[in-house]
Chains A and B, each alone.
Chain A
């Protein structure tokens, strides 16, 4: 990875965390964020994302290692002096205060004058299009409106760093997509640095500059969304991000950018070696459904083909999903665009399929 030219704004340096002294919830976390970045921590539930956020916000202490903000270690700074805005998953709007009082709270505890306070609260509410709701109580708002208020409250005191812990988890799909867009928009407009936690991969891919995929307290891969999707570094990332087909086998031959894999059932396929190095090694080949080809004219020259049997054809509107039996697997999926003249494969048909070696990635066998 390339080192950022400026000193990183947020830095986790060999951070470890254990709650019970027996198991490490976060294992050796190293992470550097430049100012203004939108970084998402993505991972299954229980992988330690919230814990990382809580350590950054100051509600949990790191068992080992340093967390630095703007170059200064913050391990011993209490939460209220860190100046970090935070959006909680359940919003944590104070139920006994009105929306405006909620927003004025961070300004009030900073001793700001009443008139300034009112102006800033107003601006912040306008920013999230909630200008008319200042006098309401949180209980009188819908989920989406609460979300906006929580966002405004985390931003009203103009923190440079904002943490969001699954802020859209409780919203329905349409609202969630809308809010994703708004948050992204605010991030660009205000130039703040955002650490965003989610377990929703679409959210992570659409919003972030970089995504850190967490599993089991370890960052599995830290990369921009496109790289993450197209070039997953290991089989966990490949399996977690997007849909993918997996074929197990052994490396038969290996070159710098091409490996030939013999599957368990004896067929040979081509793949790009990612974290396999030697002949004879066990590997898991990952192929995205939309990169599988069945028309011979599209096959890569010299690439191996493999025999497939159509099991099921599913019409999905904008695309077709065809379930195939390949190398003894019944769950091999091929996705094709619903274009003019696109062929609809009938169950029972047998045909050869292939793919570009770059689209098949030979990863570590899990």
Chain B
């Protein structure tokens, strides 16, 4: 052993018995442990990346980039074929708002002919149809005859369909040629572009997204509040009953987890519909007349009732896990110090359950904001939420970019909420189980 080791005050850096710096040796020893820990989480990490992060990334990129108008992937060869090359070049040369001239129409005709050749015209038409509805057939119709067109192309195309002169159409094509666009976000917020490319509000009767965002937020907040009001006493009971009884009660709380979501939702239909069990009972007992049976399903009421029921356990469990360890002596202490039972509850018990309220509230709210199947089944038209619209764009209108934009906005909203919660309450003040 060297002198430096036996007298640390004389040497600057401590060393191990064989003379290596102590810090380096420690780092190496810890690195080995860290590596081993990393290998253990590696499968999960890969899983999360493949099934979660990559899809979210794709969704985000799809919401700002839709190449359907200018790029085509050949089904047989798998090669990427550029589309509308001349037209894109014309858009690049001429500023926004330029009246399309003969050269533009020529480029369009060439592009249409090429699109028909590569069988990509359906994709192009669909893409433009997102923005100017009713144009899809125009594209297929014109493309069929594009090869035989003679100059002047402007007249020739207008001959096929007068709408080719529509400035909104040209504006849409210009936007669709860009490799980056915020137009889907505009659409998701009920904005669109006019012929000159200015951002304008869509007509009143076509504005649905803001309304749905608002409705989703309001209903989710209401459902969260309801689950809190209903769940708090249950959680308290669970936490204070002797274990023997509370276990039984816990089974009832967990029961919804063990039955299929579909079964639960459809049983609400059986209960709530106007010819359903509840209405029948009320009519039978004379509480309401046969002619004014209450409409409790296929509207917002149905959505709220069914979702509150389904999400209740997500509120009860975090509350329970926070309440269980709260010693009854706290409330007793408050009482012995002169507080009425209400004051003791409000000043001593309630503040200690805040982490549970926060966790449960956040959980229920986030789940409610993204809930899809229940509103779809029992919501009717007035009980639809934003996720139903996302699903519509994914499955029916096939406007995936708009769906992605809506979903991204929803994600941003949830993250914002999370951030707010962290600022107001502190995220370490969150207890989920």
Q: Which residues of A contact B (CB under 8 A)?
A: 57-59, 78-86, 88-90, 92-96, 105-106, 109-110, 153-154, 157
**Docked-complex contact B339 and A92, CB < 8 angstroms:** no
**Docked-complex contact A80 and B352, CB < 8 angstroms:** no
Residues of chain B contacted by A110 (CB below 8 angstroms): 338
Minimum CB–CB distance from B24 to chain A (whole Å) comes to 36
- Given contacts A84-B336, A92-B330, 12 further A-B pairs with CB under 8 A are A78-B340, A80-B337, A80-B344, A82-B336, A95-B352, A96-B351, A105-B334, A106-B337, A109-B337, A109-B343, A110-B338, A154-B337
Contacts A95-B352, A96-B351, A96-B352 given; indicate if A83 touches B338 (C-beta within 8 A).
yes
Residue of B at shortest CB range from A110? B338
Q: B332 within 8 Å of A by Cβ?
A: yes
> For B337, B341, B347, B352, which residue has the most chain A Cβ atoms within 10 angstroms?
B337
Residues of chain A contacted by B166 (CB below 8 angstroms): none
- Give the CA-CA distance A271 to B334 in the complex, in Å: 53
> For B332, B333, B336, B348, which residue has the most chain A Cβ atoms within 10 angstroms?
B336
Give the 7 A-B CB pairs with smallest separation, nearest first. A106-B337, A92-B333, A86-B336, A92-B329, A79-B335, A96-B351, A109-B339
**Docked-complex contact B327 and A90, CB < 8 angstroms:** yes
User: Can you report 27 residue pairs joining A to B where beta carbons are below 8 Å apart?
Assistant: A57-B332, A58-B335, A59-B335, A78-B340, A79-B332, A80-B335, A80-B337, A80-B340, A81-B338, A86-B336, A88-B333, A92-B330, A92-B333, A93-B333, A94-B333, A94-B334, A95-B352, A96-B351, A105-B334, A105-B339, A106-B338, A109-B337, A109-B340, A109-B343, A110-B338, A154-B336, A154-B337
Q: Which residues of B contact A (CB under 8 A)?
A: 327, 329-330, 332-341, 343-344, 347-348, 351-352
Residues of chain A contacted by B337 (CB below 8 angstroms): 80, 85, 105-106, 109, 153-154, 157
**Docked-complex contact A80 and B336, CB < 8 angstroms:** yes
- Give the CA-CA distance A26 to B348 in the complex, in Å: 31
- Give the CA-CA distance A110 to B337 in the complex, in Å: 9
Residues of chain A contacted by B336 (CB below 8 angstroms): 57-58, 79-80, 82, 84-86, 154
Partner of B332 from the list A92, A96, A105, A154 (CB cut-off 8 Å) is A92
- Give the CA-CA distance A109 to B336 in the complex, in Å: 11
Minimum CB–CB distance from B115 to chain A (whole Å) comes to 67
Minimum CB–CB distance from B425 to chain A (whole Å) comes to 12
- Give the CA-CA distance A251 to B335 in the complex, in Å: 55
Minimum CB–CB distance from A67 to chain B (whole Å) comes to 15
Contacts A94-B334, A105-B347 given; indicate if A80 touches B329 (C-beta within 8 A).
no
- Give the CA-CA distance A154 to B336 in the complex, in Å: 9
Residues of chain A contacted by B327 (CB below 8 angstroms): 90, 92
- Give the CA-CA distance A85 to B327 in the complex, in Å: 19
Minimum CB–CB distance from B416 to chain A (whole Å) comes to 27
Residue of A at shortest CB range from B336? A86
Residue of A at shortest CB range from B352? A96
Residues of chain A contacted by B351 (CB below 8 angstroms): 96
- Give the CA-CA distance A262 to B336 in the complex, in Å: 55
Residues of chain B contacted by A83 (CB below 8 angstroms): 338
**Docked-complex contact A59 and B332, CB < 8 angstroms:** yes
- Give the CA-CA distance A58 to B335 in the complex, in Å: 9
Minimum CB–CB distance from A169 to chain B (whole Å) comes to 13
Minimum CB–CB distance from B246 to chain A (whole Å) comes to 18
Residue of A at shortest CB range from B333? A92
- Give the CA-CA distance A88 to B337 in the complex, in Å: 12
Residue of A at shortest CB range from B350? A96
- Give the CA-CA distance A79 to B332 in the complex, in Å: 8
Residues of chain B contacted by A85 (CB below 8 angstroms): 336-337
Residues of chain B contacted by A58 (CB below 8 angstroms): 335-336
- Give the CA-CA distance A59 to B331 in the complex, in Å: 11
> For B333, B335, B341, B343, which residue has the most chain A Cβ atoms within 10 angstroms?
B333
Residue of A at shortest CB range from B337? A106
**Docked-complex contact B338 and A80, CB < 8 angstroms:** yes
Residues of chain A contacted by B332 (CB below 8 angstroms): 57, 59, 79, 86, 88, 92
Minimum CB–CB distance from A164 to chain B (whole Å) comes to 12
- Give the CA-CA distance A85 to B335 in the complex, in Å: 10
- Give the CA-CA distance A88 to B335 in the complex, in Å: 12
- Give the CA-CA distance A205 to B92 in the complex, in Å: 99
Minimum CB–CB distance from B67 to chain A (whole Å) comes to 55
Residue of B at shortest CB range from A96? B351
Minimum CB–CB distance from B320 to chain A (whole Å) comes to 19
- Give the CA-CA distance A34 to B339 in the complex, in Å: 27
Residues of chain B contacted by A153 (CB below 8 angstroms): 337
Partner of A80 from the list B330, B339, B347, B348 (CB cut-off 8 Å) is B339
